[in-house]
Amino acid sequence: MYTKYYGFNEKPFTLTPNPRFIYLSKHHKEAFAHLLYGINNHYGFIELVGEVGTGKTTVLRTLLSQLNDDKYRSALIFNPCPTVVELLRSINHEFGLRAESEYANELLEELNRFLLSENARGITVVLVIDEAQNLSPGILEQLRLISNLETEDDKLIQIVLAGQPELSTLLDLPELRQLNQRIAVRYRLRSMSMDETRTYIHHRMVVAGETGGVSFSRPALKLIHLYTRGLPRLINVLCDRALLIGYGDEERRISAGAVTQAIKEILNIHQKRRFSLALASAVLLIIICAALLFKPGTTPVSGTVNGAAAKQVGSDRMQK
C-alpha cells in the first residue's frame, strides 16, 4: 500500500525471513563466530539461546549459508519431534537418507553409515535444532546418544541446539547433566543497541529500494528503540505500522507522533476510548522506565567456551 508512495520496490519491514535483508549486529556476528568456532573444532555440542525476536533464526540461516558443500553437510530441524523415531526420521530425511523404518536402531545404523562415509571424505556433518526448548528430556538424551557416534579421534556429527532461554533451564535438569556437560561452546544472543537499531532500519529501507522518499526523525528512532528494546522482530512490526500511518497522513518524514500512534494501534488502544490519551501516556512512560533499566550494550559478552567440557573432550580423545 505505502511502497509505491514512498518509492520502495517492496515492503522493507516484514516478518518473513529474507536473506537479502540480513543485517548482522555486533552480537549477531559474535554468535556466528562462536557457532563456527565450535563446529570447526568438532566440539560436538554448541548452544545458542536468545529471547523471542532477537534474531536466532537469522544467525542460523547465515551459518548454514556459509557452510559450503565442499567441506560441510548440514541439516536444519525446526519442528520439535515428539518421539525418538520421528526425530531420527527427520534427521535422516534432511540428510537425504532412508527414513522409512519404524525402528530407531535401523534409522541410527543408516545415520551412522552416512556419518562414517562423510568423515572418510573429510566432510564435517552439522545438525542444527531450532526451537530446542520445546524438546523433551528424552529427545535431548537421544541427541546425546547420537553424538556418541564417533571415531577414535573425532566426533562424527556437530549438533547446534538453538532456542529461547528456557533451553538453558531445561539443560540444567539432573537427568540431562551428561548432555549439559558436553556443551563446550555457548552464546546468549542480546538485542541491538540504539545505533544498531538506527542502522538496521536504514539498511532494510535501502535494500527495499528507498531513494529518499521517506525517513524517520531522530525522536521517532529513539522511541522505536525504547519500545522494541532493540529486538528485530518488534522493530519490523512497529516500523511497518508507522510507515502505514505516515502514508495515511501523507507524511514523508515519520515523526515520534506517528510512532506513538503505531504503538497505540499495536497495543489496541483506540483513540475513541475514554481516557485513551492518558492510557497511551502511561504505556509510553512504562516503556521509558523499562528502557532505563534495560541498557543494551552494557552487559558483558555472553559467549563462553566451556573449558571443562573442552578439556573433557580432549581427555576422552587421548584416552582412546
| Structural domain containing residue 7 | 3-16+192-268
Residue 283 pLDDT greater than 70, yes or no: no
Count of other CB atoms within 10 angstroms of residue 173: 12
Q: Are 57 and 162 in the same domain?
A: yes
Q: Are 305 and 184 in the same domain?
A: yes
Element (H, E) at 224: helix 218-228
Domain CATH for 311: 3.40.50.300
Domain CATH for 249: 1.10.8.60
Q: Are 140 and 236 in the same domain?
A: no
Domain assignment present for 291: no
User: Model's pTM, two decimal places?
Assistant: 0.81
Residue 116 pLDDT greater than 60, yes or no: yes
**More confidently predicted of 150 and 208:** 208
Domain assignment present for 118: yes
The pLDDT of residue 286:
57
Question: How far, in Å, are 40, 82, 215 from residue 27 at the CA level?
Answer: 20, 32, 26
**Into how many domains does the chain fold?**
2
Q: Are 170 and 199 in the same domain?
A: no
Q: Indicate the pairing of strand 157-163 with strand 45-50.
A: parallel
- Which tens digits make up the pLDDT trace of 250-276? 999 999 999 999 999 999 865 444 444
